[in-house]
Amino acid sequence: MYSKTNLTLATSLIMTMFLSGCANTAADYEPIVDGPKDALFYDDLADCKNLAEQREYLNDDTKSEALLGAGIGAVVGAIGGDTGDIVGGALVGGALSAGGRAWDTRGERKNIVLECMSGRGHRVVG
């Protein structure tokens, strides 16, 4: 099978690439509005982006999902009966679960920007 070192390295690489791809993308979202994009719009947008960035990718939800995924992965790995399978299953399960939750956080950040701009009186359409 795969060695524990190879699984650890592969899992770390996948998570690094995934989280790097997500970094700030949703917080940098510029909504489509039915109205002017004047100085007030851009001031409000900057404030809303800063607000969205407060929702971190490695939040408590992501940590919980990683722990749950690691547990499930370890159980699945235990079926193989080898310690390497258990560790590998835990690493892969944890990484996939954390990655999925981080992706959800990306959507939350975008929604924060949309709701914030709407709350400031901008007619947000998307």
Number of domains observed in the structure of the chain: 1
The pTM for the full model equals 0.61
pLDDT tier at 33, thresholds 50, 70, 90: very high
Could you tell me if residue 87 is inside a domain?
yes
Could you tell me if residue 124 is inside a domain?
no
Could you tell me if residue 125 is inside a domain?
no
Could you tell me if residue 19 is inside a domain?
yes
Summarize pLDDT for 4-15 with one digit per residue, the tens.
555 555 555 665
For residues 54-62, average pLDDT: 74
Give the domain range for residue 73.
4-119
Could you tell me if residue 111 is inside a domain?
yes
- C-beta of residue 83 within 8 angstroms of C-beta of residue 2: no
Q: What pLDDT is recorded for position 1?
A: 47
Summarize pLDDT for 62-120 with one digit per residue, the tens.
777 777 788 888 888 888 777 777 888 888 888 887 777 778 888 889 999 999 999 99
Could you tell me if residue 91 is inside a domain?
yes
pLDDT tier at 51, thresholds 50, 70, 90: very high
